Amino acid sequence: MIARIGSFIALLVGVLGMVPAVSQAEAISFAAVGDTILGNTPTLPSNPVGYLRPISPQLRDDVVFGNLEGALTDASGGKCGAGSSNCFAFRNPPRFARALRAAGFTVMNNANNHFGDFGTAGQSDTLRALRRAGIAQTGLPGQVTLRSVKGMRIGFVGFASYTYSASLTDLPAARALIRKAGRVSDIVVVAFHAGAEGTGAQHVTGHTEHYLGENRGNPERFAHMAIRNGADLILGSGPHVLRGMEIYRGRLAAYSLGNFAGFHNFSLGGALSATAVLHATLEEDGSFRAGRVASVRMVGPGRPVPDPAHTGARLINRLSHADFGASAITVGGRGRIIAP
């Protein structure tokens, strides 16, 4: 009797509007960053956990995602021959995976041009190191990575232009993989390593982009295709600079999150030093609910620290409106993302 009376009172209060009769739908929060690698053996930070500590408070969402721009291996014999130019091979010791996990990372993308820097041995070592550190990874051919968050299944797929990754340029195969992820996931996150590189590559062109003779895909076409086939969040990397963001069919597409951390790995200065942590909250159906751009600056040898000047947020706002018109996001006060 007491239980029935209590239920009746709760129902009555809900009807009268004093409390909501139905609780607000669960939402999933994501933090995402761009290219991340902590030096290149033997040039390494002495304390990798401390190296990332200034920015770690920004890496505390339900899912924390980054692009691992290199291999976690002690293997030698990288891809760059003696005297080669315009060739960079990045590796960290496998133990550095624990530093990435301590900083907050829960998922890393391996679909990029540096995962294969030390061959199949380096790739195997990287996957093993991430797994042992408790970090999920995605980006292999045909791979859908599933994570359970708040009782929901989050599916991750990563794409790049290399044989060891899911293909960025084979659109029918990419479409099939994204649809496959949608069949087993409640929310689908698509990462891609796409587009030209450098300070001249801040804009999304709407065309196929190349770098050093490589076909780096058409990022805008790919993102729209992905969303039409079930993707709920697009996370771009590769250009080494920030790019704009848009809302397409209710979904957020971030075309490049720039560089995030590198101990003497990346060139710095101007737009190359300006970066950000993207915070995005998605509804249960994957649609965009809210977001924020936390501006970050790479200082010294490439250490990420909070940027009180909000350079990254202002840059993303400007590029978004320049490139996407009516579908562009606006970055308002305190970095708040305002949907069009």
Q: What is the DSSP string of 270-293?
A: GGGTEEEEEEEEE-TTS-EEEEEE
Residues of the chain with pLDDT under 50: 1-24
pLDDT digits (tens, 9 = 90+) for 154-198: 999 999 999 999 999 999 999 999 999 999 999 999 999 999 999
pLDDT of residue 10: 37
pLDDT at 227: 98
What letter would DSSP give residue 48? H
DSSP 94-153: TTHHHHHHHHT--EEE--STTTTTTHHHHHHHHHHHHHHHT-EEE-STT--EEEEETTEE
Segments in the chain forming alpha helices (H): 2-16, 48-52, 96-103, 119-133, 171-184, 219-228, 311-324
Work out the percent of the chain whose per-residue pLDDT is above 90. Answer: 88
Those residues with Cβ within 8 angstroms of residue 69's Cβ, 6 or more apart along the chain or in another chain? 35, 36, 37, 90, 112, 114, 237, 262, 265
pTM, two decimal places: 0.91
CATH topology of domain 25-338: Purple Acid Phosphatase; chain A, domain 2 (3.60.21)
Q: What is the pLDDT of residues 98-153, one digit of tens each?
A: 999 999 999 999 999 999 999 999 999 999 999 999 999 999 999 999 999 999 99
pLDDT number for residue 80: 83
**The pLDDT value given to residue 26:** 81
DSSP 164: T
Percentage of the chain exceeding pLDDT 70: 92
Q: What pLDDT shows up at residue 229?
A: 98
